[in-house]
């Protein structure tokens, strides 16, 4: 039974091969031809076909620019006859230079272009011990003051090496403190003026040009601005 089925399968495959390759065409058994002429015959009006190119999609209209973007900024003209300006100030001008500086400004510069203001600094007095001959002597005095529970500090500046037992805004206050310290056994201290009573001036130029700065510096002289140059306000 299996042998018969196998023979039938072989015959079927052979028949399909002969049919597929046109070997049975003489018997009217063959597949439909698929060559180019037959394919062209199957087309429906091929002459009516045409290729179309896609048109580019319309671009959206640009949004209207703001006034700030389309309109260029108006140029600004700095004050001072077209020269750039800046606010400058110099402080710590001594009174002996301030008078001459004020006279020059009043004669040569408009009043709204400068301001000269004063700043009074009262004198300062100190209860002072010193100057000591050396660092060892200074340290012995420190130890002595600690044993008496008396506060002290460095004298500073030209008063070194020495000790300050207090700083005061008036000579009378410093003298009273010296009397109190004497009652506590301090014998070698004295009252000295640490800083004199002085009035210093500040010059402000709100719209200074380079030319105005040079002009004002020449009015006061080199000594007036030495160590206290102009700086931004």
Q: What is the per-residue pLDDT across 72-106, written as a single tens digit (0 to 9) for each?
A: 443 333 445 667 889 999 999 998 899 989 999 99
Cα(77)–Cα(85) distance, rounded to whole angstroms? 11
Radius of gyration of the chain (CA): 55
pLDDT number for residue 35: 52
Show the low-confidence residues of the chain (pLDDT under 50).
62, 64-79
> Which domains does the chain possess?
86-121+198-232 (3.30.70), 124-195 (3.30.70)
pLDDT number for residue 151: 95
pLDDT number for residue 174: 97
Judged on CB neighbours under 10 Å (0-12, 13-18, 19+), 201 is buried
HEC string of the chain equals CHHHHHHHHHHHHHHHHHHHCCCCHHHCCCCCCCCHHHHHHHCCCHHHCCCCCCCCCCCCCCCCCCHHHHCCCCCCCCCCCCCCCEEEEEEEEEHHHHHHHHHHHHHHCCHHHCEEEEEEECCEEEEEEECCCCHHHHHHHHHHHHHCCCCCEECCHHHCCEEEEEEECCHHHHHHHHHHHHHCCCCCCEEEEEECCEEEEEEEEEEECHHHHHHHHHHHCHHHHCCCCCEEC
Identify which of 224, 219, 208, 221 has the alpha carbon closest to the alpha carbon of residue 112: 208
pLDDT number for residue 121: 85
Tell me the pLDDT tens digit for each residue of 4-14: 877 777 777 77
pTM metric for this prediction:
0.45
């Amino acid at each position: 039974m299996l042998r018969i089925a196998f023979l039938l399968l072989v015959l079927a495959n052979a028949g399909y091969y002969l049919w597929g390759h046109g070997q049975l065409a003489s018997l009217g058994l063959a597949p439909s031809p698929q060559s180019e002429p037959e394919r062209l015959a199957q087309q429906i009006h091929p002459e009516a076909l045409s290729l179309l190119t896609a048109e580019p999609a319309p671009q959206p209209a640009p949004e209207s620019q703001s006034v700030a973007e389309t309109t260029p900024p108006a140029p600004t003209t700095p004050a001072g006859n077209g020269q750039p300006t800046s606010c400058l100030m110099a402080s710590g001008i001594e009174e002996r230079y301030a008078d001459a500086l004020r006279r020059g400004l009043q004669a040569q510069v408009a009043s709204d272009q400068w301001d000269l203001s004063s700043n009074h600094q009262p004198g300062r007095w100190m209860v002072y011990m010193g100057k000591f001959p050396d660092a060892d002597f200074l340290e012995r005095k420190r130890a002595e003051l600690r044993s008496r529970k008396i506060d002290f500090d460095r004298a500073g500046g030209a008063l070194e090496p020495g000790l300050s037992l207090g700083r005061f805004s008036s000579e009378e206050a410093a003298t009273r403190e010296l009397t109190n310290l004497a009652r506590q056994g301090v014998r070698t201290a004295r009252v000295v003026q640490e800083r004199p009573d002085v009035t210093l001036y500040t010059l402000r130029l709100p719209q200074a040009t380079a030319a105005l700065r040079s002009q004002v510096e020449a009015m006061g002289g080199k000594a007036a601005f030495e160590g206290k140059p102009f700086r931004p306000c």
